[in-house]
Structure 1
Amino acid sequence: MIEGVNVEPLRKIPNDKGDIYHGLKSTDESYVSFGEAYFSNVNHGDIKGWKKHNEMVLSLIVPVGSIRFVIYDDRFHSSTFQQFFEITLGIKNYSRLTIAPGLWVSFQGMQIGQNLLLNIASIEHDPSESVNCPLEQINYNWN
Structure 2
Amino acid sequence: MSSEKIIDNEKGNIRHIVKASSTAFTTFGEAYFTEINFNERKGWKKHLKMTLNLITCYGEVLFYFVHPQSGEIFKIMISSKNNIRLTVRPGIWFCFEGVGISSNLVLNIASIAHDPSESENRPLDFYFGEQE
TM-score (norm 1): 0.87
1:16 aligned partner: 10
Residue 93 of structure 1: how far off its partner (Å): 2.1
Change over 3 Å in CA distance of 1:64–1:130 after alignment to 2: same
1:27 aligned partner: 21
2:112 aligned partner: 123
After superposition, give the CA deviation of every residue in 1:1-52 in whole Å (9 maximum; x if it has no partner). xxxxxx1011111111111111100001111110000000000010000000
Aligned: 1:73 with 2:67: yes
TM-score (norm 2): 0.94
Distance 2:112 2:131 in 1: 30
Amino acid at match of 2:123: P
Change over 3 Å in CA distance of 1:28–1:51 after alignment to 2: same
2:86 aligned partner: 97
2:124 aligned partner: 135
Distance 2:88 2:122 in 1: 18
Unpaired runs of at least 5, structure 1: 1-6, 75-79
SS at match of 1:136: helix
Amino acid at match of 1:90: S
Amino acid at match of 1:139: F
Aligned: 1:113 with 2:107: no
Of the three residues 54, 69, 72, the one matched with 1:83 is: 72
Q: Which runs of 4+ in 1 moved over 4 A?
A: 140-143
Q: How many residues align?
A: 132
